Amino acid sequence: MDSMTQTPAFDGKPAKLVELTNQSGMRLVVMDIGATWLSCVLPLASGEKREVLLGNVTMADFKRQHNYMGATVGRYANRIAQGRFDLHDVTYQVSTNQSGNCLHGGEEGFDKRRWTIEAQSQSRVTFGLLSSDGDQGFPGNLSVSVSYELTSCNQVKISYFAKSDKATPVNLTNHAYFNLAGAESGEDCLSHYLAINAEQFVPTNGVGIPIGVIESVAGTGFDFRVGKTISTHFMQDNQQISAKGYDHSYLFTALRDVCEPIAMVMSPDEQVRLYVKTDKPAMQLYTGNWLAGAPNRSGGVYGDYAGLALETQFLPDSPNNLEWLQLNGQSNCILEPDQEYQYQTTYQFEC
């Protein structure tokens, strides 16, 4: 991974990498550019060291890919319709960068920023960022921190904190792409077994904007309450055809036990399982529908569906759908000056 530091990042200076390890031999590499999760190597019972995170090995390749691989995305992850929303009687127009909408914070989102390393140890690192008032059109001076912690039982805990001096939408997530068969195995994610403990999902239009309703997964290809191989109902309905696969948010019940997994993924060879736990209200399932051509680690490129993202977050376009009650009977996507944005997502690996 040292090759990532040999050419300048977006700001003309080399990136800084941090390696986290535990006693079982699991290894994480994260980077200050985008507070990005670059690598996740698991020690398998067979003795294999398996890389399960899609990624790049040079800064040139990291700049070339536009898939947010492993990055912390914000100020608002997912989409805001037309980059426009009303907040406290003021209409805001923010940066638009996909089909006339704001995706993952706009043209110069948090994934392209150099974050400050605020604290570091063998098992934990904290990155900080100050997003100024008006950044990409968003209101308020926003102070953000993201921590990665690798535990002794192969958990990756990602903790998010933010505070603003003005009301502003905030929705932070990590955009890691997982392939539990091996990132460079050539096997796509559609052969993975997936379970999602959610009864509702959000249908979208042709450019990924919610159509204004939240629907039951019952009787649809979006029902993963009983686990199944991703390919089982793949591309068998108009919602998936429009998105070229799964690229939709699932909403979890507000009464759930946050210590229980909201999703589980298993590799085709059944050697690796990934459990996702979070106190966020929703998760975007994205099957890497537009990964084709993104540089991989071996000098080639990934194909579509090479990995899946499990992005814990608020629902897309929530600033324009404040009637959606996502947590504690509130929308919660708007951070007020007297509040703190504080959430955690845990990716637990068993192998």
Residue 6, Cβ density class (10 Å: 0-12 exposed, 13-18 middle, ≥19 buried): exposed
Q: Alpha carbon 38 to chain centroid distance?
A: 13
Q: Spell out the residues 6+ positions from residue 57 whose beta carbon is closer than 8 angstroms to its own.
A: 1, 3, 4, 297
Q: Is 61 annotated as a binding residue?
A: no
- 104, 192, 248, 311: the catalytic one is 311
Helix (H, G, I), strand (E, B) or coil at 330: strand
Catalytic option among 104, 149, 175, 187: 175
68 contacts 94 by C-beta, under 8 angstroms: no
Length of the chain equals 351
Q: What is the DSSP string of 232-244?
A: GGTT-SHHHHHHT
Q: Is 79 annotated as a binding residue?
A: yes
How many whole angstroms separate alpha carbon 127 and alpha carbon 279? Answer: 20
**Closest by alpha carbon to 35, among 117, 139, 138?**
117
CB 141 within 8 A of CB 41: no
Would the annotation count 181 as a binding residue? no
**Residue 340 bears catalytic tag:** no
Q: Both tokens of residue 134?
A: 């008006």
Q: How far is CA 147 from CA 116, 144, 168, 193, 200, in A?
A: 11, 10, 22, 29, 30
- Let me know if 175 is a catalytic residue: yes
- DSSP for residue 303: P
On whether 273 is known to bind a ligand per the annotation, the reply is: no
Longest dimension (CA), the chain: 60
User: Residue 177 annotated as binding?
Assistant: yes
Q: With CA atoms as reference, report the closest residue to 116 among 79, 52, 60, 72.
A: 72
Report the C-alpha gap between 101 and 301 in whole angstroms.
Answer: 27
DSSP helix/strand/coil, 191: helix
Q: Which of 248, 304, 308, 315 is nearest to 280 (CA)?
A: 315
Catalytic residues: 175, 311
Would you list which residues are annotated within the binding site for beta-D-galactose?
78-79, 175-177, 247
Binding residues: 78-79, 175-177, 247
